[in-house]
Amino acid sequence: MPAEGFEVVETGRGRVAGVAEGGALCFRGIPYAASPVGALRFAPPRPHAGWSGVREAAKAGPSVPQAASRLERVQGRRAPDWDEAGSLSVNVFTPRRAVRDGAGRAVLVWWHGGGFTSGSGGWDWYDGARLAALGDIVVVTANYRLGPLGYLHLPEIGAANLGFQDQVAVLRWVGDNIAAFGGDPGRVTVGGQSAGAYSSLMLALDAATGPLVAQVLLQSGPFGLAPQDPEEAAERAEDYLRLLGIALRADHLALLSAVPVGRLLEAYGALSARLAAPGKAAPPMYPVLGAPGLARTFQQAHAGGGLRGKPLLIGTTRDEATAFCGFNPRIQQLTEPEALDLLTAQVGPHAAPDLYRRHAAGPTPAEVFTAIQTDNLFVDGSLAIADRHAAGGDATYVYRFDHAPAEDPHRLGATHCAELPYLFGTFDAYPDSPVLVGADNRRSALSREFATALAQFVATGTAEGWSPHVPGAAGIRHFG
């Protein structure tokens, strides 16, 4: 028998011992694939060899290698915890009675954001214990390779949307193992925030993984960002190799496998700095069109029925882009002509003036530009997805998270990532976050309302008291 407070579960690679916390059992740091080290650094995920005995699963595994995120200014700083070895792991949070009562609960596989460059499913920001207990669902979070390790485009050595291929491996791990944790592999919702929402839509629309997905939850997806063009991705790869001093060599794989991982991150940081521009959202490397998971654009795959029959819940925060623009002095000091010049570069000379006029209620050019970025990158694409899905007769629910911090010295409002502590109930994990500054007597109630609504969708595919979305009609549920 397991020790008091622990529970042992049998997976396909060995037994794991989770720990009881509150109303949930938590199994952290379970390998779903072999460590991406040496010759496996730029290879598709390979099966883990397994282990003997009982593996302790009380602590999350390390993050995948990454530099600090620019969103640390919004969410708070994190001490680096990355290591290539052991980084491809999952975390499972399940109601205490779920592993024994045979009920087969709905499952949420939730992906962290971070611009395909940073983040970890093992961070306490995204601890799923409270959500699992509140909603009586099984919550799974996971790591996937990021930055150059996940999205360097060198298909000739097998490096093509490797971060997405890691996510596929997680989804298949869930299908093979989640019943042992009390989950139903036939009732899987894929969900996530920001880059995690982008990934969730890829998984739901892809012909190979779509059948594994029953429902879709998309939070603040940057759907205004088109997949990376393969020619641009190839150019970025060449630029990156030049920075590493191994450009245009036939033995890319061997050379890249030997480079210290810190050097890989430094070169990626240099490439990012070279390409940075005010209002530019795309990282140097992210999911590439034509590579695994993106045979077609989202629009083409959706129009072809890729989401048909899958209930969808999709939403944004009210002031998404303040997280990116609010701390950028070049944007904050924009004059109107400068703002129009930036918009012209993004949308063309004919659309820019009209777009600016339609948002000109803001008191400063910076606020007008920021509002436009919120719509262009997040809101318009999300509503287009919702409209198309609802028009096809599928259950569709749309929300907007409006709650701003009690004190808001940076004028962030309800910014990108603001809803995350409310979903997971992990407020103590954000001690330095400006989105939680000031006393807020609504925090607990709003967290319960928001988390309950999303968990109910995962459990049932519906949202009680929440009108389904109708294209062109007011049907957005506001939180906060």
- Residues 116-149: pLDDT tens digits? 999 999 999 999 999 999 999 999 999 999 999 9
The closest of 232, 226, 217, 164 to 377, measured between CA atoms, is: 226
Query: For 260-283, what is the mean pLDDT?
Result: 94
- Asked if 182 and 99 count as a contact pair (C-beta separation under 8 A), the reply is yes
Establish if 317 belongs to a structural domain. Answer: yes
SS3 201: helix
Q: What is the pLDDT of residue 3?
A: 53
Q: Give the contacts of 259 (CB within 8 A, at least 6 positions apart).
A: 244, 246
CB 37 within 8 A of CB 84: yes
Hey, what are 163's tokens?
Answer: 């971060």
State mean pLDDT over 425-447. 93
Report the percentage of the chain scoring pLDDT > 90: 87
Q: Is 1 within a domain?
A: no
Q: How confident is the model at residue 277 (pLDDT cuts 50, 70, 90)?
A: confident
CATH number of the domain where residue 385 is located:
3.40.50.1820
- Predicted local confidence at residue 202, as pLDDT: 98
Q: How many domains does the chain have?
A: 1
From the list 217, 325, 237, 343, the residue with the least C-alpha distance to 286 is: 237
Strands (E) across 239-364 are located at 312-317
Q: Is residue 383 part of a domain?
A: yes
For residue 411, which phi and psi values (nearest 5 degrees)? 55, 50
Domain of 140, in residue numbers: 6-479
pTM over 0.95: yes
Angstrom distance (rounded) from CA 69 to CA 387: 32
Residues labelled catalytic = 194, 320, 416
Between strands 14-21 and 6-11, the pairing is antiparallel
- The helix-helix angle for 336-347 and 351-358 (nearest 10°) equals 120
The average pLDDT across 307-329 equals 96
The single-letter DSSP state of residue 330 is: H
DSSP letter for each residue of 22-90 = TTEEEEEEEESS----GGGTTS--------SSEEE-SS--PBPS-PPPTTHHHH------B-STT-SEE
From CA 33, how far away is CA 219, in angstroms rounded? 27
- 250 pLDDT higher than 70: no
pLDDT of 253 higher than 90: no
Would the pLDDT of 43 be above 90? yes
Q: How confident is the model at residue 472 (pLDDT cuts 50, 70, 90)?
A: confident
Q: Between β-strands 105-111 and 138-142, what pairing exists: parallel, antiparallel or unpaired?
A: parallel
Please list, in sequence order, all residues whose beta carbon lies within 8 angstroms of the beta carbon of residue 227, skipping any fewer than 6 positions away.
286, 287, 288, 289, 294, 297, 298
Give pLDDT tens digits for 157-207: 999 999 999 999 999 999 999 999 999 999 999 999 999 999 999 999 999
CA atoms within 13 A on the CB side of 477: 19
The predicted model gives 356-378 an average pLDDT of 89
For residue 99, is pLDDT > 50?
A: yes
pLDDT of residue 1: 38
